[in-house]
Chain A
Amino acid sequence: MSFAVVKGAGYILVHAPDMVIHNGTTQTSERIINPDSEYLKELPKHLRNFDEVVSYAPNQTYIGNISPDDLSKYEMPWYDKKVEGADRFGKFGEIMPQDEFIGLMKISDTFDLVKLEKEFTNIVKEKLEKHPLMNDNLISKLKEGEEISEIEKLINQQHAEPIYNEGKLVGCVKRAHDIDINLNAHTLFENLVVKASGALALLNLLAKNNFKAEDIDYVIECSEEACGDMNQRGGGNFAKAIAEVVGCINATGSDTRGFCAGPTHALIEAAALVQAGVYENVVIVGGGATAKLGMNGKDHVKKGMPILEDVLGGFAVLVSKNDGVNPVLRTDLVGRHTVGTGSSPQAVITSLITTPLDKGNLKITDIDKYSVEMQNPDVTKPAGAGDVPTSNYKMIAALGVKRKELDRKDLMNFVKEHGMPGWAPTQGHIPSGVPYIGFAREEMLDGKINRAMIVGKGSLFLGRMTNLFDGVSIVIERNSGKVDSNKGVSEEEVKKLVAEAMREFASHLLKD
């Protein structure tokens, strides 16, 4: 069977400064424990405006306007540098300002849970009418808006979650049940944000790759939230809800979860579904998390920096049947951290990196680029968490040294040549492996690289159901141009089988 291909990728960011203050868990926790804290007083002074967020180099990389290579030319820290002539719209997607996004939350809401103030609705309507991806049907869902007194009443009397813009109350999300915590206003706020940001990513994916919504067969949503009610807490299904907003009338879908590893699990599932011929076009999509906004805010404020975790992230990737052009998803070169793998970094890296490479008789250096947890080090370093991608590359290189595929003195060269700087916001699943797929596809189409490995890792233990960690990986490879569907065994497979037989034969000779 022919491998599936990566036909396109879409990436979006949403600037959400008021949600940092009101919905990020670092801030909401502080408000409960220490409501008069200096941090809460200082925080608003450290928020960036929209232009600063747009011209921030990692954000420009995320939406595809500058390449990871270009980003590495900017000296760190990045927050005090600007990308000249930066645009909110990019090759892979866009950066949306908060007011438009609040409008999109209303547009994505099918249960009349989002109430927006009249004047704010008018302003947003005017802005969204100019947005290239918003059609009349979507904009009509904004409706007329409510009186502010009505919104205040819902907040004060019925536990609705307020929505702020520029420090001003502009709306609310109502609760959908009196006692069910799964349908309270807080949970619905988070879920509507996931839905709206996921939909924005999917809209961008389709538009930037000239693909029709009605041609999508199946959607896999892979963020870290859960929608459901008290009888089925994570019943689902964000995937179909997002498909509905975007107009994928011929699609159904389901949600896949695995903490930050979710997107890579979803990518492998999508590749398998397409390769098996179940569906032709599968989209994986992930929306953003309000809870993680300003997660490391205390460290950023303490160090006199702006709050850099002020954006929600979203992404979508289209996986389709082999067209002989786009890069293939090598489902035969998949890495898995299994229950029995163990938790030492060495065991983890072996299971995710070298085990799949061994299956294809590949060396660590045969992969041109590794896409690991691409967290932006500008965010994590000041918080004492180091440079996450670089640490991952060092670990891969160190394993290469142990396997004698690499000389110890070349360790840092490997990091430079096979690694990249991190550019993704610390939104859990968003930085995990997937941010590079858009660039990988382009670089393979341009013949600049041959292979990339997408690696997703997840901290399952946070959910307290297991002490285990998780991870999966998959190799993406430049398309050879040959599409050998259902013709039995492929050329690669024959080579592999012959190599295996030879190895076995040789080992018998040695034993004898």
Chain B
Amino acid sequence: MDLENQKRVKDLTEKYGAENVVVILGAAEAEAAGLAAETVTAGDPTFAGPLAGVQLGLRVYHAVEPEFKNEVDPEVYDEQIGMMEMVLDVDEIISEVSEIREEYCKFND
């Protein structure tokens, strides 16, 4: 995750509290989505950014995960994400991000 985004996530979490922040990812690759999910839960795995060694444990979902999809108006979802859903390896992304979430997210919901 780019250093500026790490800083923004950190600042927003400090301002509103971890329980009030949800991170929605849009990365096109499972590996990149997994790294971003890890960064906002267990800390920056590359130890390069402001979240290095910072375990925020935030709720984090990829935009193609059912937990997010079911919360959105289906028409809007189709208009904004329907095309990408066809393109991305949805299963791989879900498996990667949900695994990280189960391991490092502080909230059990």
A residues adjacent to B (C-beta < 8 A): 33, 344-347, 349, 384-386, 391, 394-395, 398-399, 401-402, 408, 411
Residue of A33, A344, A394 most packed against chain B (CB within 10 A): A344
The listed residue (A346, A385, A401, A408) touching B29 by CB distance below 8 A is A385
The listed residue (B35, B79, B82, B87) touching A384 by CB distance below 8 A is B35
Q: Are B28 and A398 in contact (CB under 8 A)?
A: no
User: How far is A377 from B31 in the complex, measured between Cα atoms in Å?
Assistant: 15
Contacts A346-B80, A346-B82 given; indicate if A385 touches B87 (C-beta within 8 A): no
Classify the interface of chain B: helix, strand, loop or mixed.
helix
Q: Are A386 and B29 in contact (CB under 8 A)?
A: yes
Interface size on B, residues (CB 8 A): 14
How many A-B contacts are there with CB distance less than 8 Å? 43
Asked if B25 is an interface residue, CB under 8 A from chain A, the answer is no
Q: Are B28 and A346 in contact (CB under 8 A)?
A: no
User: How far is A408 from B80 in the complex, measured between Cα atoms in Å?
Assistant: 19
Taking CB atoms, residues of chain B closer than 8 Å to A385 are 29, 32
**Cβ-closest chain B residue relative to A401:** B86
**Cβ-closest chain A residue relative to B84:** A345
Ranked 9 nearest A-B pairs via Cβ: A398-B86, A394-B87, A346-B83, A344-B80, A384-B31, A398-B83, A386-B29, A384-B32, A398-B87
B residues adjacent to A (C-beta < 8 A): 28-29, 31-32, 35, 48, 79-84, 86-87
Minimum distance in angstroms from B35 CB to a CB of chain A: 7
Minimum distance in angstroms from A451 CB to a CB of chain B: 23
Taking CB atoms, residues of chain A closer than 8 Å to B82 are 346, 402
Minimum distance in angstroms from B25 CB to a CB of chain A: 14
Q: Are B29 and A411 in contact (CB under 8 A)?
A: no
Q: Are B81 and A344 in contact (CB under 8 A)?
A: yes
**Cβ-closest chain B residue relative to A380:** B29
User: How far is A345 from B83 in the complex, measured between Cα atoms in Å?
Assistant: 8
User: How far is A33 from B47 in the complex, measured between Cα atoms in Å?
Assistant: 11
Minimum distance in angstroms from A458 CB to a CB of chain B: 16
Q: Are B81 and A346 in contact (CB under 8 A)?
A: yes
User: How far is A493 from B35 in the complex, measured between Cα atoms in Å?
Assistant: 51
Taking CB atoms, residues of chain B closer than 8 Å to A402 are 82-83, 86
Taking CB atoms, residues of chain B closer than 8 Å to A345 are 83-84, 87
User: How far is A346 from B87 in the complex, measured between Cα atoms in Å?
Assistant: 11
User: How far is A281 from B31 in the complex, measured between Cα atoms in Å?
Assistant: 47
The listed residue (A33, A349, A386) touching B83 by CB distance below 8 A is A349
Q: Are A399 and B28 in contact (CB under 8 A)?
A: no
User: How far is A349 from B35 in the complex, measured between Cα atoms in Å?
Assistant: 26
Can you name 28 A-B residue pairings with CB atoms under 8 Å? A344-B79, A344-B81, A344-B84, A345-B83, A345-B87, A346-B81, A346-B82, A346-B83, A346-B84, A347-B80, A384-B29, A384-B32, A385-B29, A385-B32, A386-B28, A386-B29, A386-B32, A391-B28, A391-B87, A394-B86, A394-B87, A395-B83, A395-B84, A398-B84, A398-B86, A399-B83, A402-B82, A411-B86
User: How far is A402 from B84 in the complex, measured between Cα atoms in Å?
Assistant: 11
User: How far is A342 from B90 in the complex, measured between Cα atoms in Å?
Assistant: 23
**Cβ-closest chain B residue relative to A398:** B86
User: How far is A347 from B81 in the complex, measured between Cα atoms in Å?
Assistant: 10
Taking CB atoms, residues of chain A closer than 8 Å to B48 are 33
Minimum distance in angstroms from B94 CB to a CB of chain A: 17
